[in-house]
Structure 1
């Protein structure tokens, strides 16, 4: 039986392991944490949001970023650092902000999102897995007329691509989500996507990992991946082993027939020695989790929301309200910035002051693996510069695959990415028109 090593046990890595095992492969997952889903998948916004496909890189972003440059609580905060990788990424990001590139990237993300949402729904039906999911749709609401006006064209474009995102009036928005009634007078408009969903990504990842284990997947937790060892400069590049170090032990060699890299922001340094250059840079995202007020649970939203002016997503997860968002480009720093944390709570108290217990808040930060285009890297690894859709004929690895760079939509795209990579490894064509790499 072909043995495949999946590097990383976040939501992308675990779903990859699941679909590979379902396809009949012998699978080992290697993870430096003590359990699955403890990094970027731990406390994200919880949305399965095909409708949230407008790339960060779009024509309006450069001017906004300049305005936000010295605002500590800005939705997008770019810290100027003496970092060549960050500067290179920023230049590539600006290239993707052109209108034609932004539209092409939106198309890719909607296609993958639709495929992934349907794949998750099938997985849920097949397994009965429960992860505090809500299937009430997702609503974008706008308290800024300029933000609402800017959302009209992308909404129409998404409709053309098959995403059922529709413009709704303020009364309809408040009727769908009564928790918005107290601030309805501040709303300028809204859109609603009834088939989008929400759920606890961490809980999903851990429960799917349990099912993987039951199905025969092996997990090596508390194990650091030190190097990928390959004949990288031959005519047919090939990985012959990886070097790992289990906690408390010496480094040792691990072998498999094939390998899938699903390490998010930490993918970059691992493959750079192989002359594989991934355009991924970490964007620190924040989240705040509040206990819902048991005396007034109806004053916290049931429908998952997106506050586009403040770039926050809001999801009800059991008895908690999860609010997440913002992007801070500050390298691999995971320190919590109190100003940015307090800005989230301030906004939540403006919207749902009686629906939450504000002093119950738990803040968290995680590193989203952002590509300049926001489109993830899925397919065969190849030498040189990698971007979605890229090829490098004659210098493509025969047994190293990439499933990384999902940015803010890792939870949304996880199941579709995993199903697609499992089919590609089997030599089959996934039923999605997506720019896979190295294929």
Structure 2
């Protein structure tokens, strides 16, 4: 079967890899000059199944109200006349019940755990390296309230069979001795030994090279202009690229363009509950290994992740609802630098590169992987939010199995777009 994938981020490239391995003729289209140049470019670097948690949680409205009064708030909402944003926020609030939280977290964990296993298999099969580490993750608590709240997450982790351990301060320092200077700021931590880390951009570029060797064609610097559709099928996609306009036909199409997927598919009459949530990161040269993370640490107070990537430290986090605005705001940089400086400090912030990207979030936190519903040959792999790198391999393999009419290895019915119709 000939398959065209729209998007060459980590989701599109992993989808291409698994489809090619099943014998399909695959072509990937992306408007950027190379793979993983947008949201996958400089994310937090975490492959964190155990940290797969929906934003929509009981008590979120109260937390947001408190955050709005803080200078270094984990969340910033920039008011705008945007019906799409208001609709998405309304759907998110409807998921802030204990029942919805348990359901959403359990299915996110299911996909994320599967994806981590797929990533390990791929690494073993190909020998692919990407500044990866398999050292686990620590969710760091600075307050007693954070420590107490961990009990609820631990219950769901236990029910899902995810290994975890609650650490006192001494336990945290055994795993992350670089935090010794911040001992007085800490109350404890939740360690997830099965979590990993790595450079998503490096991984995606190297996997794209391997996919090309398998026969996958990549069209870069190429934007999607329109679709040809008839009845319940998409016949072709019209593109503009270096060689001019082109009409590209296929037997099947996969929409994997991250936050731009809803805009791309709207002319086809498909409304996706995906909205861009802006995130920021700093990439800092390592200067003192004794004051740097060994693996990856999440600062629960600021919602900031700090990850070791070779001789660099990636500091990522914060969330901003501002539509498709990609301006680099100084205040967000200050929050990232503050969190890192209070906890570690073994990197040169004066030489940090500052970046922002748009995470494609669904209201319930779970990505949309499966059939589009309206067109028989149009498939979706989008809406992964902050967990695109965590869920990429599992989502790509699941999508390839579904498109190939193969039985997937995990339950998937509740991962599709149909859950919103229900």
Give the CA RMSD over aligned residues.
1.3
Structure 1 moving runs of 4+ over 4 Å: none
**Equivalent residue for 1:253, pick from 225, 247, 254:** 247
Which residue of 2 is the match for residue 73 of structure 1?
A: 72
1:104 aligns with 2:103: yes
The answer to whether the 8 A contact 1:139-1:304 is kept is: yes
User: SS at the partner of 1:316?
Assistant: strand
Which residue of 2 is the match for residue 148 of structure 1?
A: 147
List aligned pairs for 1:22-171, cutoff 5 A: 22-69=21-68, 71=70, 73-171=72-170
The offset of 1:356, in angstroms, is 1.1
Instruction: Using structure 1 for the length normalisation, give the TM-score.
Output: 0.93
**Equivalent residue for 2:323, pick from 331, 347, 354:** 331
User: SS at the partner of 1:45?
Assistant: coil
**Equivalent residue for 1:427, pick from 386, 398, 405:** 405
Which residue of 2 is the match for residue 211 of structure 1?
A: 210
The offset of 1:347, in angstroms, is 1.7
Instruction: Using structure 2 for the length normalisation, give the TM-score.
Output: 0.96
Give CA deviations for 1:363-405 in whole Å, capped at 9, x if unaligned: 10000000000100000002xxxxxxxxxxxxx4211000000
Which residue of 1 is the match for residue 333 of structure 2?
A: 341
User: SS at the partner of 1:398?
Assistant: coil
Which residue of 2 is the match for residue 385 of structure 1?
A: none
**Equivalent residue for 2:385, pick from 398, 407, 415:** 407
Distance 1:12 1:344, change over 3 A: same
The answer to whether the 8 A contact 2:53-2:365 is kept is: no
Q: Give the Cα separation in 2 of the matches to 1:191 and 1:117.
A: 19
The answer to whether the 8 A contact 1:47-1:411 is kept is: yes
* Number of positions where the alignment pairs a residue of Structure 1 with one of Structure 2: 417
Structure 1 runs not aligned, ≥5 long? 383-395
Give CA deviations for 1:42-77 in whole Å, capped at 9, x if unaligned: 000000101112211101211111222354531011
Q: Give the Cα separation in 2 of the matches to 1:12 and 1:41.
A: 9
The answer to whether the 8 A contact 2:281-2:355 is kept is: yes
| Higher mean C-alpha displacement, 362-371 vs 69-78 | 69-78
| Higher mean C-alpha displacement, 322-331 vs 53-62 | 53-62
Tell me which protein shows more helix as a share of its residues: 2
User: SS at the partner of 1:277?
Assistant: coil
Which residue of 2 is the match for residue 8 of structure 1?
A: 7
User: SS at the partner of 1:325?
Assistant: strand
Which residue of 1 is the match for residue 395 of structure 2?
A: 417
| Higher mean C-alpha displacement, 71-80 vs 118-127 | 71-80
Give CA deviations for 1:168-214 in whole Å, capped at 9, x if unaligned: 22111101111111112221121111111000000000000000111
List aligned pairs for 1:205-354, cutoff 5 A: 205-231=204-230, 234=231, 237-247=232-242, 250-293=244-287, 296-353=288-345
Q: Give the Cα separation in 2 of the matches to 1:283 and 1:52.
A: 18
Q: Give the Cα separation in 2 of the matches to 1:253 and 1:358.
A: 47
The offset of 1:228, in angstroms, is 2.4
1:437 aligns with 2:388: no
The offset of 1:156, in angstroms, is 2.1
The offset of 1:229, in angstroms, is 2.3
Q: Give the Cα separation in 2 of the matches to 1:67 and 1:287.
A: 24
The answer to whether the 8 A contact 1:49-1:412 is kept is: yes
